[in-house]
Structure 1
């Protein structure tokens, strides 16, 4: 007889800026919901931010909360009314569940919904747990051959096929976009960063690119001149597109506000399925769920050189193993 799983290990952040492994209840799926076995969650900078500072703007951790939102899993149980999934389906989890009732949701701009329930943002528990209930509407089927440890990240939509030259400022979000660049641009593509090891990784990941190590000893203008030289002397060689991926305020000239995501999961899944992106090289560290605290410490320590840290749960669980 199969063993019944009654434990649900989870990684939780506390209101006093601590992280801990703790048991969480195994919920039953309600109408329109499914019970998932979360197989893989990538650590995001927001997870680290909630841990270290206890808040992101007005979003404050007021009590224990399970972190995590970059996830893939397997459907274990179906709630009433779920017709688009079957038990055993492999899915990517879209973490934001909007209200579906406000005018923003009705217009298709659900990422702006003020009543969204976002996984891993207090008081809504996230995906760094073995079992999670999630609305079926916000799950996206994965192909059987796509590893669940390769959650699709949304490709950049601000590029254009006619853009021939680009400059990409590296950390922390450039690895999610860089595999697409050779498909979108002709050369040159210049990637810049302060850290030489990150530039070495960039060159390995995108051999077609040129790299430039920004010097702290030079002025912004002198660094810009050094970058500009890599595109050639002609005015026609100047970069047409710059993607700023660091989030450093001093690097930002124009502000284009965006809040969460809209319809990006299908595009990401299609890009992976069509082999437009090879995400495997981006995963630098993998930890089992039981070692999630160690994973968070590695991710928070820049000296460890992490790119994407993933937390996986390789325990084999059948639907009949869960009450």
Structure 2
């Protein structure tokens, strides 16, 4: 069967069948079965140079990450259409591969996840883009939760205005990156912190071989203990805390907010004659200010820009 998958069945057909699995009632069980049958690396194949480094073991941690994300989404009762469900499950499945880079025919190496989606399962460019965005945003949301937790441990986030502002900006930036799909990032954020989701390829020797903990058949069932009820409950609580923080800070729709000022307005305000690298930094500061001050006015934003950057400041 492995030989047929590699030589006789087109990647387009593989991708079509896989999409049916992801849209079916038990996508996690279906992918686990591929791993147990030794077909995971035939379906989710990496470029040869990476395949030789990782061996066949990466299916285990990938299945565990996918199962954890699916568990959180189900426990939250998250409403997703077929496309969103595919985005989430694919990003979770490939989370352990997020730091790998594949050689390109020309130019810089590309993310291995992008190469896998493009070449092995022949899915859409949008799937590639959303996988990368979800990986980045999930890490940012996990970092925001860490800051939020420090505030809770100290007694109150309100007691540390600087910390609250940091959390607002971190949450808002991640939400704006994912737009209307931001709740998928919240689901994936706790998964980023799992041992199973740790980036593979850092130590090729420990990642290769079917005897590794991540690659054993049993590990796809309990995730080496990371899929226990206790561990799942902790991840669910983290996701709920992130959702609560987003609602409390009024950031749920921040992905649709328009900047109070555009580039021309900023240049006019500061007396600049032409755009430059500094303009991008000012525009980013305006967006961050809006995240911190959701009810802020244009006049207040202008005052912030003038105070921080100064009218007539030399252009860089």
**Taking structure 2 as the reference length, what is the TM-score of the superposition?**
0.25
More helix by share: 2
- Pair member with larger Rg: 2
